[in-house]
C-alpha cells in the first residue's frame, strides 16, 4: 500500500535520495526546498505523486504554513522526515555570531518547530511517525564541528523527550544517525575564516583533512536512504538508527568511554544525595 511522506530539504543529499526511492516504488511525497525549481524534474516525472513546496526552515511562520498546506493537500501523512540542515565548521573561537545564529536556527530551532507544527495534525489523524535526521555527531564529537554538534546533540535530546510525551497518541520517532556519507554534504560545509592561532591544533587537523579529502566518506547515500526508509516502514523501530561504519565505530567508542567514566564516579555521585 502506497504511503505518504513529507520531507524537508528534499532537493539534495539524503532528502533527495529518499524522495527518489519512495517515488520509484509508488509512494507520494511532499518535498520542501528553499529553491522549488530544484525539484522540477521530480514533479515532471511523477506528476501529482510529488508535491513541491517552498520552505526556508529558519522562518517559523513559514514552517507552520507549509506544514498545514502539506496535510491539507495530502490528507493523511504517514511519515515526516525532518532533514533540512547544513554544517557550519570551524574552531569555536573562529565562528561569527551571525553564522552561529543561522546554524542553530536551521538545524535546531527549525527542526523543533517542524515537529511542533506536525504534532497537532498527527494527533488528529491518531498517529504517525517522525524521522529526525541527525548524524553520528549527535552522540560524539570532533574538533572543528562544535556548533554542528551542538545542534545535533540538542535535537536528539528534544526528540527523546517529545517521543515520551506523544507516544500515547500513536506518534513515534526515529533519530537517523548517518556517518560521513557521500551526499555532497562536504561541498556544502560553511567554513569559518581561519585563525593562525589554531595552526597545528586538532581543529586544524580536521580542517586540513576535509580540504585534502582525507576525511573519508564511508557511507553510501543510496544504501543509507534505503535503510532509513526500511526503518520507517518497520512496525516498531528503535529510537536511534545508526548508519554506516563511520557512525557505528565512533558512537560505540564514545558511549563506552562515557559509561566507564560515569561508573567510576558512582561513589562520588551517591555522596551528593541528601541524608
Domain with residue 74: its CATH number is 3.40.50.720
Q: 143 lies in a domain?
A: yes
Looking at the structure of the chain, the number of domains it has is 1
134 is catalytic: yes
CA gap 234, 18 in Å, rounded: 16
Read off the pLDDT of each residue in 201-221 and give the average, rounded to a whole number: 91
List 11, 111, 118, 148, catalytic entry: 148
Determine the pLDDT at residue 36.
Answer: 77
Q: 57 lies in a domain?
A: yes
Q: 98 lies in a domain?
A: yes
Between helix 110-124 and helix 146-166 the angle, nearest 10°, is 20
Q: 266 lies in a domain?
A: no
Read off the pLDDT of each residue in 153-174 and give the average, rounded to a whole number: 98
Determine the pLDDT at residue 117.
Answer: 98
Is pTM beyond 0.85? Reply is yes
Determine the pLDDT at residue 37.
Answer: 87
Determine the pLDDT at residue 182.
Answer: 85
pLDDT value at 186 more than 80? no
Task: Residue 131: give the domain boundaries.
Answer: 4-249
Q: 269 lies in a domain?
A: no
Determine the pLDDT at residue 53.
Answer: 96
CA gap 14, 18 in Å, rounded: 6
* Nearest partner of 129 among 140, 121, 137, judged by Cα: 121
CA gap 127, 131 in Å, rounded: 14
pLDDT value at 185 more than 80? no
* Nearest partner of 32 among 2, 78, 86, 69, judged by Cα: 69
Q: 13 lies in a domain?
A: yes
Read off the pLDDT of each residue in 166-176 and give the average, rounded to a whole number: 98
223 is catalytic: no
pLDDT tens digits along 26-79: 999 999 999 878 899 999 999 999 999 999 999 999 999 999 999 999 999 999
Determine the pLDDT at residue 164.
Answer: 98
Q: 268 lies in a domain?
A: no
Read off the pLDDT of each residue in 119-143 and give the average, rounded to a whole number: 97
Identify the band that residue 187 occupies on the pLDDT scale cut at 50, 70 and 90. confident
Determine the pLDDT at residue 176.
Answer: 98
pLDDT value at 272 more than 80? yes
List 11, 134, 135, 146, catalytic entry: 134
Determine the pLDDT at residue 27.
Answer: 97
Amino acid at each position: 500500500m502506497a504511503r505518504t511522506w513529507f520531507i524537508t530539504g528534499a532537493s539534495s543529499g539524503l532528502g533527495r535520495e529518499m524522495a527518489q526511492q519512495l517515488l520509484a516504488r509508488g509512494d507520494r511525497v511532499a518535498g520542501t526546498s528553499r529553491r522549488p525549481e530544484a525539484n522540477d524534474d521530480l514533479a515532471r516525472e511523477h506528476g501529482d505523486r510529488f508535491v513541491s513546496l517552498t520552505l526556508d526552515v529558519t522562518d517559523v511562520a513559514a514552517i507552520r504554513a507549509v506544514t498545514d498546506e502539506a496535510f491539507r493537500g495530502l490528507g493523511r501523512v504517514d511519515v515526516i522526515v525532518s532533514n533540512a540542515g547544513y554544517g557550519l565548521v570551524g574552531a569555536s573561537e573562529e565562528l561569527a555570531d551571525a553564522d552561529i545564529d543561522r546554524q542553530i536556527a536551521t538545524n535546531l530551532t527549525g527542526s523543533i518547530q517542524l515537529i511542533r507544527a506536525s504534532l497537532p495534525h498527527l494527533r488528529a489523524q491518531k498517529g504517525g511517525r517522525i524521522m529526525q535526521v541527525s548524524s553520528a555527531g549527535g552522540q560524539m564529537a570532533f574538533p572543528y564541528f562544535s556548533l554542528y554538534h551542538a545542534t545535533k546533540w540538542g535535537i536528539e535530546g528534544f526528540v527523546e523527550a517529545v517521543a515520551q510525551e506523544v507516544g500515547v497518541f500513536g506518534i513515534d520517532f526515529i533519530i537517523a544517525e548517518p556517518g560521513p556519507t557521500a551526499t555532497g554534504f562536504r561541498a556544502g560545509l560553511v567554513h569559518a575564516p581561519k585563525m593562525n592561532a589554531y595552526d597545528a591544533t586538532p581543529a586544524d587537523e580536521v580542517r586540513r583533512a576535509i580540504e585534502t579529502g582525507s576525511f573519508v566518506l564511508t557511507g553510501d547515500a543510496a544504501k543509507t536512504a534505503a535503510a532509513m526508509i526500511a526503518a520507517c516502514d518497520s512496525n516498531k523501530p528503535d529510537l536511534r538508527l545508526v548508519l554506516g561504519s563511520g557512525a557505528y565505530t565512533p558512537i560505540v567508542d564514545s558511549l563506552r568511554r562515557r559509561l566507564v567514566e560515569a561508573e567510576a564516579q558512582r561513589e562520588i555521585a551517591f555522596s551528593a544525595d541528601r541524608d
